[in-house]
Amino acid sequence: MNLQIYTDGGSKGNPGPSSIGILIKSPDGEIQRYREDIGIATNNVAEYTAVIRAYDLIKKLDRDITGISFYSDSQLIVRQLSGMYKVKNPAMKSLVNQVKERELALGIPVTYTSVPREENSIADGLVNGVI
């Protein structure tokens, strides 16, 4: 089964109070929604934290997952995770490493795709419902 995962992170103040939103969709239509207040952070930290937390949620699913497609309205995050952009900031490198460790541990194909904000409205709504 291939999962579609929509992630978003947001910060009021950048840095400021931050939260994340995650929408997990499976081919059979099952949907899991998750949101969390992550404290004071930047917008980019929130975006990465959403992806990390999504991987943690996936591990808890009792499913035969054969692939994952991540969708985010953050072009920066998508391009960094896809290897199109280098990550220079040490704090961001640490977050990228956490994502990549989880990705490798699953051992299945994973893609990261940038989508317009309108196509990520549920995850965005989860973020805005928290902060």
pLDDT tens digits, 82-119 = 999 999 999 999 999 999 999 999 999 999 999 999 99
Complete edge-to-edge strand list for the sheet that includes strand 110-114: 31-41, 16-25, 2-11, 67-72, 110-114
Question: What are the structural domain ranges in the chain?
Answer: 2-128
Considering the chain, what is the average pLDDT of its residues?
A: 95
CATH code of the domain occupying 2-128: 3.30.420.10
Helical pair 90-106 and 43-60, crossing angle rounded to 10 deg? 20
Cβ count within 10 A of residue 117: 11
Low-confidence ranges of the chain (pLDDT < 70): 130-131
Angle at 109 between CA 122 and CA 9, to 5 degrees: 30
Element (H, E) at 1: none
CA distance 41 to 67: 30
Q: Could you tell me the pTM of the whole model?
A: 0.95
Angle at 127 between CA 122 and CA 128, to 5 degrees: 95
